[in-house]
Structure 1
Amino acid sequence: MTAISNHVGAAGLPGTASQLEIDSLFEEERTPNKKRSMKAIAMVATLGGLLFGYDTGVIAGALPFMTDTVAKGGLGLTPVTEGLVTSSLLFGAAFGALYGGRLSDRFGRRHNILMLAGIFFLGAVGTALAPNVGVMILARIVLGIAVGAASATVPVYLAEIAPRELRGRLVAVDQLMIVTGQLLAYSTNAVLANLWDGHSTWRIMLFIASVPAIALWIGMHFMPETARWFACKGRFGEALDVLRATRRKEYDIKGELSEMLTVAHDSAAAREGGWSDLKTPWIKRLVFIGVGIAILQQLTGVNTLMYYAPTILTKTGLGTNAALTATIANGVVSVVASAAGLWLVGRFKRRQLLMVGQAGVIVSLAAIGVTFGLLISPSLDAGVAPATSSSYIVLGCMLSFLIFQQGAISPVTWVMLSEIFPMKMRGFGMGLSVFLLWIVNAIISFSFPVLISSFGGAGTFLVFAAINVGTLIFSWKMVPETSHLTLEELEEEFRFTHA
């Protein structure tokens, strides 16, 4: 390998890669890498999303068994320790996202995912074998670190390795795998609860997560690092090798590599982004927008419906078994909506799709609040069971909410977060945004039982609806359109438009 393969110095005007430099790379004789299809890469990398979904969803079915006494095979959870076991993963995820993004900038996206597969495995085994509450909370924190770091790394990996025309759909596959993991958790919980109602049921539920962790670790050994990460590190020959292995024959590899070299030259003075870069106005603006997109995704209250759906439905008068069945319906609708989101995010502009989703969520939340206020709360106050029809109205509104959330807001959120940050800030910006996403998730999840017991279903859901009016205004005023440009073109546009 010649010197130019490892680093290409700036030539000509600042921030410009010369044609001679680019041609030199293509003239070298290099051992060709094995071709990798985008489908294979997405299938393997998004196992991280599947684990994300399974590990956040499985706790709903495991908790009832864990609240049993130690003599009956449980951990004797109290309401306080139940809340700690549930939220410990979320706080672990927040810090995993914050530091996972920085590590992926330093050591590579692929390296990070390999490491996370091992942490997923350790966390799954640790929770399944936990002898007491303390060990369970510690193991859930470890698992949360993997969940958070995966949520910050996998979308970036997919966005960087995909060609422009597939970027939105490929990143949206990760969202589909997250909700598929949640559905898998709900379904597995229901099957195990009915077929194996014994002392170790909850341990089996938690241990199952180790299987996709092993598959992720094995699969990522055969996947490439992203060309953009190599370019950011000055390893342009390796960047070219990845492009040749992941692009069609007729693809303009030279043009794509030229864009990467140009941006890499612009970022050469500070290859790893950090807090000091927030002094630059255009970078500060992008980080502010990214953080806002991440937070507004949680302010919809989506995870209150995913974590507490049975609790909400039992408060409408629905029986426990019916409420558990309805939870599976939530998972099914989430998967179907996310699959539709793959098509939508490739066909429509990101910003427009985001705002349509937010409008649908506002209407759905308001409808749930009104149903509680007019049909359910009066019956409960009078000491009589609400009509069964009102329970199914709430269920219908919840499913409507999930259609807009999982079909529009969630895929656009993860796609935009993976593409909006500049090259040297991508891991840092994604990590910071997802860190705050998980913090808000944890706060809302911990607070929801208190809110609904204090203000009732009507007050709680109407408050969420009002909050989302504010998030819709934020999207309208602040969020840019990103679907029509490559990652390098996006960076150049923001650099010169918002400098």
Structure 2
Amino acid sequence: MATSQRIAPAEAPGTLPALTAGPHSKRLGVVAMVATFGGLLFGYDTGVINGALRPMTEELGLTPLTEGIVTSSLLFGAAAGAMAGGRLSDAWGRRKTILLLAVMFLTGALACVFAPNFGVMVLGRVVLGLAVGGASTVVPVFLAELAPYEIRGSLAGRNELMIVIGQLAAFAVNAVIGNLWGEYGGVWRVMLAVAALPAVALFVGMLRMPESPRWLLSKGRAADALEVLMTVRSPERAVAEMADVKHLADEEKVSRSSGWGALKNKWILRIVLVGIGLGVAQQLTGINSIMYYGQSVLVEAGFSSSAALIANIAPGVIAVVGGVIALRNMQTMNRRTTLLIGFALTTVCHFLIGAASILLPVGNGARPFVILFLVVAFVGSMQTFLNIAVWVMLSEIFPLHIRGFAIGVSVFCLWIANAFLGLFFPSLVAAVGITGTFFLFGIVGLAALVFIYTQVPETRGRTLEALEEDVTTGAIYLVHKK
């Protein structure tokens, strides 16, 4: 059927019955809570290295190079996991893929806890990375495909909030364990072991969760898809939404390629490049360098090692506060506006941190506290305006027939950027100090602002099917970029 002969999904928001409260809305909340344990594990497993690295280095005899390898091995694993998770979830289903990831989270955590040497530690971190990367791809898609368009931003954004809650939990656990039992050997193993608990909760919880109705429909399982929708929507809304999704899925079976073949469509290629740009720009703010090496940065700023471990909780707290505010932003602010504000604020913070490290030399009593304040301001700006917005956009901008593949490619590039930062950040700080490092981040931030303004379209307030129609025809760049 030609595009001009169909009822465009863009009309759907005006024709779908309004959302109503009831058992179905509570059920949707439970599904979101269970799925976002994947985000919690993502946050804890990436954040725990912040405090575990120093005692681990002493016990395992790590060098600066092997420290970077231990940290970045998870990140390179995550890049591979993002690609594999996206493709696997397209073929195997979102729910089954998340169950597999839960097993990998538990296996990787236990391997790290009992690692006798550097080699086993790296292997365990790679397994954790595969799980983290897969979760970063599959969980946002699962949530976006289950969510009504009216609350898609806040529902899909819960995963990023759980990521920062996981990182805060890691910082808090590190501070408590490190300061109470830091003199005992193997304290870092206890820090890593805590991750096993949410891994078990994710697996047990997902056993009772439904599959994505949009994925079921893409596999021709219309009755199963409607059955799932009836559990998370009112009956009238489920039937109306099902009709719109089915119409688009029927067209895709006839007219659209999946995987790499879909990139022959110039508009599909363009939106995939936009997704890659969003992911890489987010990482090049340096946010995860703070999350992984925050204690080292604060020691460089002038704090003692134990004080830095405690002070490091402050960025974790502001990240959670910013994440809560960001969920509200997803419902009240356009995505592009949020991204532009976020990159502007983080770029200003980068230049201020660099300037503070020049104006307040080592030994100045104010230096550690000013830099801590600016780091907290940077993390707050990042979490309030960027992180959740980026992950939500990655979960919603791609058409259904390539959604898992496209977000996998985008998140693969995101994790590769993250991994190289994790690998080389200690060397960068050693070479050019805090000043040069954050000035470089600031320059990259200026380039990101230009990219967002010129290339990223608006997606808020529309169904996934309406977005798909405009993405595949290029209309989204003409009428929805405002």
TM over 0.5: yes
Instruction: Give yes or no for contact 2:51–2:295 (8 Å, CA) kept in 1.
Output: no
Matched with 1:240 is 226
| Paired residue secondary structure (1:492) | helix
CA distance in 2 between counterparts of 1:298 and 1:170 reads 23
1:16-43 Cα shifts (integer Å, max 9, x gaps): 79xxxxxxxxxxxxxxx99862210111
CA distance in 2 between counterparts of 1:455 and 1:12 reads 55
1:307-345 Cα shifts (integer Å, max 9, x gaps): 122222222222222221111111111111111111111
CA distance in 2 between counterparts of 1:212 and 1:269 reads 42
Match of 1:431 among 388, 408, 413: 408
Matched with 2:35 is 45
Does residue 86 of structure 1 match 2:71? yes
Match of 1:484 among 457, 461, 464: 461
**Paired amino acid for 1:81:** T
Identify the range of structure 1 (314-323 vs 360-369) with the bigger mean alpha-carbon deviation. Answer: 314-323
Instruction: Give yes or no for contact 2:301–2:367 (8 Å, CA) kept in 1.
Output: yes
Matched with 1:401 is 378
Matched with 1:280 is 265
Matched with 1:139 is 124
CA distance in 2 between counterparts of 1:171 and 1:434 reads 16
1:134-176 Cα shifts (integer Å, max 9, x gaps): 1111111011000000000000000000111111001111111
Instruction: Give yes or no for contact 1:110–1:224 (8 Å, CA) kept in 2.
Output: yes
**Paired amino acid for 2:449:** L
Match of 1:62 among 45, 52, 55: 52
1:403-425 Cα shifts (integer Å, max 9, x gaps): 11001100100000000000011
| Paired residue secondary structure (2:60) | coil
- Alpha-carbon deviation of 1:76? 2.0
CA distance in 2 between counterparts of 1:206 and 1:272 reads 43
Map 1:329-368 to 2 at 5 A: 329-368=314-353
Judged with a 3 Å threshold, the aligned counterparts in structure 2 of structure 1 residues 196 and 108 are, in CA distance, closer, same or farther, namely same
Instruction: Give yes or no for contact 2:150–2:462 (8 Å, CA) kept in 1.
Output: no
Aligned structure 1 segments of 4 or more residues deviating by more than 4 angstroms:
10-17, 33-36
Q: Highest CA radius of gyration, 1 or 2? A: 1
Judged with a 3 Å threshold, the aligned counterparts in structure 2 of structure 1 residues 202 and 335 are, in CA distance, closer, same or farther, namely same
CA distance in 2 between counterparts of 1:12 and 1:471 reads 34
Matched with 1:5 is none
Does residue 391 of structure 1 match 2:360? no
Aligned length: 461
Instruction: Give yes or no for contact 2:89–2:97 (8 Å, CA) kept in 1.
Output: yes
CA distance in 2 between counterparts of 1:398 and 1:273 reads 42
1:405-456 Cα shifts (integer Å, max 9, x gaps): 0011001000000000000110001111111101000111222222222222
**Paired amino acid for 1:420:** I
Identify the range of structure 1 (468-477 vs 268-277) with the bigger mean alpha-carbon deviation. Answer: 268-277
CA distance in 1 between counterparts of 2:24 and 2:437 reads 54
- Alpha-carbon deviation of 1:194? 2.6
| Paired residue secondary structure (2:307) | helix
Matched with 1:200 is 186
CA distance in 2 between counterparts of 1:193 and 1:322 reads 11
- Alpha-carbon deviation of 1:14? 7.6
Map 1:226-305 to 2 at 5 A: 226-249=212-235, 251-269=236-254, 273-305=258-290
Map 1:100-179 to 2 at 5 A: 100-179=85-164
- Alpha-carbon deviation of 1:482? 0.3
Q: CA RMSD in A?
A: 2.0
Judged with a 3 Å threshold, the aligned counterparts in structure 2 of structure 1 residues 16 and 238 are, in CA distance, closer, same or farther, namely farther
- Alpha-carbon deviation of 1:12? 12
Judged with a 3 Å threshold, the aligned counterparts in structure 2 of structure 1 residues 350 and 108 are, in CA distance, closer, same or farther, namely same
Matched with 1:214 is 200
Matched with 1:449 is 426
CA distance in 2 between counterparts of 1:318 and 1:207 reads 28
CA distance in 1 between counterparts of 2:354 and 2:267 reads 40
Matched with 2:398 is 421
CA distance in 1 between counterparts of 2:422 and 2:5 reads 49
| Paired residue secondary structure (1:267) | helix
Judged with a 3 Å threshold, the aligned counterparts in structure 2 of structure 1 residues 102 and 51 are, in CA distance, closer, same or farther, namely same
Identify the range of structure 1 (108-117 vs 185-194) with the bigger mean alpha-carbon deviation. Answer: 185-194
- Alpha-carbon deviation of 1:11? 12
CA distance in 2 between counterparts of 1:402 and 1:82 reads 24
CA distance in 2 between counterparts of 1:270 and 1:48 reads 34
CA distance in 1 between counterparts of 2:436 and 2:137 reads 34
Structure 2 length as normaliser, TM-score?
0.92
Map 1:7-22 to 2 at 5 A: none
For structure 2, the 5+ residue unaligned runs are: 9-22, 477-482
1:13-70 Cα shifts (integer Å, max 9, x gaps): 98779xxxxxxxxxxxxxxx998622101110000000000000111222222122xx
Judged with a 3 Å threshold, the aligned counterparts in structure 2 of structure 1 residues 492 and 12 are, in CA distance, closer, same or farther, namely closer
- Alpha-carbon deviation of 1:242? 0.9
- Alpha-carbon deviation of 1:491? 0.3
Judged with a 3 Å threshold, the aligned counterparts in structure 2 of structure 1 residues 399 and 257 are, in CA distance, closer, same or farther, namely same
Map 1:177-196 to 2 at 5 A: 177-196=162-181
| Paired residue secondary structure (2:258) | coil
CA distance in 1 between counterparts of 2:37 and 2:379 reads 22
Does residue 410 of structure 1 match 2:382? no
Identify the range of structure 1 (407-416 vs 197-206) with the bigger mean alpha-carbon deviation. Answer: 197-206
For structure 1, the 5+ residue unaligned runs are: 1-9, 18-32, 69-73
CA distance in 1 between counterparts of 2:110 and 2:5 reads 52
Matched with 1:28 is none
| Paired residue secondary structure (1:89) | helix
Identify the range of structure 1 (352-361 vs 321-330) with the bigger mean alpha-carbon deviation. Answer: 321-330
Matched with 1:321 is 306
Structure 1 length as normaliser, TM-score?
0.89
**Paired amino acid for 1:58:** V
Identity over aligned pairs, percent: 47
Judged with a 3 Å threshold, the aligned counterparts in structure 2 of structure 1 residues 270 and 219 are, in CA distance, closer, same or farther, namely farther
- Alpha-carbon deviation of 1:498? 4.8
